[in-house]
Structure 1
Amino acid sequence: MSLWLPSAPCTPRACVETGTRSTTAVPRAVLRLTLVVALVLTGVALSPLGARIPAGWVRRWCRTVVRASGVRVRITGTAPPTGGLLLVANHISWLDVPLLAAVRPARMLAKTEIRGWPVAGALAARGGALFIERDRLRALPATVAHIAGELRAGAAVAAFPEGSTWCGRAQGAFHRAVFQAALDAGVPVQPVRIRYLSHSGGAASTAPAFVGDDSLITSLWRVATARGLVAEVDVRPVLPPGTCPDRRTLARAAQQDDPGDEDRGADPRSTSTCGHASAVHVGATPVPPPRVPSQTRRAGTRRNRGRGARAAPAPDSARPPHVGGC
Structure 2
Amino acid sequence: MTAGELWRPASGCGPACLPAGTDPAVPLARRVGRLLGVLGMLLAGVGLAALLPLLPARDRRAALRGWARGTLRALGVRLLVRGRPPRRRALLVANHVSWLDILAVLAVAPARMVAKREVRDWPLVGPLAAAAGTVFVDRSRPRDLPATVARVAAALRAGHSVAVFPEGTTWCGEAADCRPARGFRPAVFQAAVDAGVPVVPLRLNYRYAGDPTTLAAFLGEETLWQSVRRVLGARELTVSVGVTAALHPAAGADRRVLARAAESAIHLSPARPAPVGRVRPAHLVTAGGAVPLREVELDLAA
Q: What is the identity, as a one-letter code, of the residue corresponding to 1:28?
A: R
The 1:154/1:209 distance shift into structure 2, 3 A limit, reads same
Conserved 8 A contact 1:244-1:274: no
CA distance in 2, matches of 1:273, 1:118: 48
Indicate how the Cα distance of structure 1 residues 244 and 162 shifts in structure 2: closer, same or farther if over 3 A, else same.
farther
Distance 1:24 1:211 in 2: 23
Q: In structure 2, do the counterparts of structure 1 residues 236 and 4 end up closer, same or farther at CA, with 3 Å as the change threshold?
A: closer
Task: Write the mapping of 1:80-229 to structure 2, written as runs, cut at 5 A.
Answer: 80-82=86-88, 84-170=89-175, 171-172=179-180, 173-199=183-209, 202-229=210-237
2:68 corresponding residue in structure 1: 62
**1:119 offset after TM fit, Å?**
1.6
How far off is 1:276 after superposition?
2.1
Matching residue of 1:28: 30
In the alignment of these two chains, the number of paired residues is 267
2:268 to 261, 283, 292: 261
Query: Is the alpha carbon distance of 1:73 and 1:244 closer, same or farther for their aligned partners in structure 2, counting shifts above 3 Å?
Result: farther
Contact 1:75 1:234 in 2 (8 A): yes
Cα distance in structure 2, aligned partners of 1:94 and 1:23: 21
- Which ranges of structure 2 fall in alignment gaps of 5 or more residues? 271-280, 291-302
Structure 1 residues 57, 14: CA separation in 2 closer, same or farther (over 3 Å shift)?
A: same
Q: TM-score, normalised by structure 1?
A: 0.76
Checking the alignment, whether the CA contact within 8 Å between 2:196 and 2:251 is kept in structure 1 is no
4+ long deviations beyond 4 Å: 272-275
Rate the CA distance shift 1:183–1:30 in 2: closer, same or farther, 3 A: same
Which has the higher Rg, Structure 1 or Structure 2?
Answer: 1
Identity %: 46
What's the counterpart of residue 5 of structure 1? 8
CA distance in 2, matches of 1:15, 1:99: 22
Following the alignment from structure 1 to structure 2, what is the Cα–Cα distance between the partners of residues 46 and 22? 32
Three-state SS of the structure 2 residue aligned to 1:73 is: strand
- Cα deviation, 1:142-198, whole Å, max 9, x if unaligned, reads 111111111111111110000001111133411100101111111111110000001
Give distance in 2, aligned partners of 1:159 and 1:239. 15
Q: Distance in 2 between matches of 1:135 and 1:273?
A: 39
Partner of 2:244: 236
Quick check: 1:187–1:240 contact (8 Å CA) kept in 2? yes
Q: Which amino acid aligns with 2:8?
A: L
Q: Secondary structure at the match of 1:245?
A: coil
Partner SS for 1:32: helix
Structure showing the higher strand proportion among its residues: 2
Asked if the contact 2:92–2:162 (Cα under 8 Å) also holds between the matched residues in 1, the reply is yes
Within a 5 Å distance, the mapping from 1:12-51 to structure 2 comes to 13-17=15-19, 19-21=21-23, 25-50=27-52
- The one-letter amino acid of 1:276's match is V
Partner Cα distance (1:90, 1:208) in 2: 14
Q: Deviation per CA, 1:119-145: give whole Å up to 9, x if none.
A: 222221222111011121111111111
Distance 1:245 1:196 in 2: 33
Deviation (angstroms), 1:73? 0.7
* Shift in Å, 1:23: 8.2
**Which blocks of at least 5 consecutive residues in structure 1 are unaligned?**
264-271, 286-314, 316-326
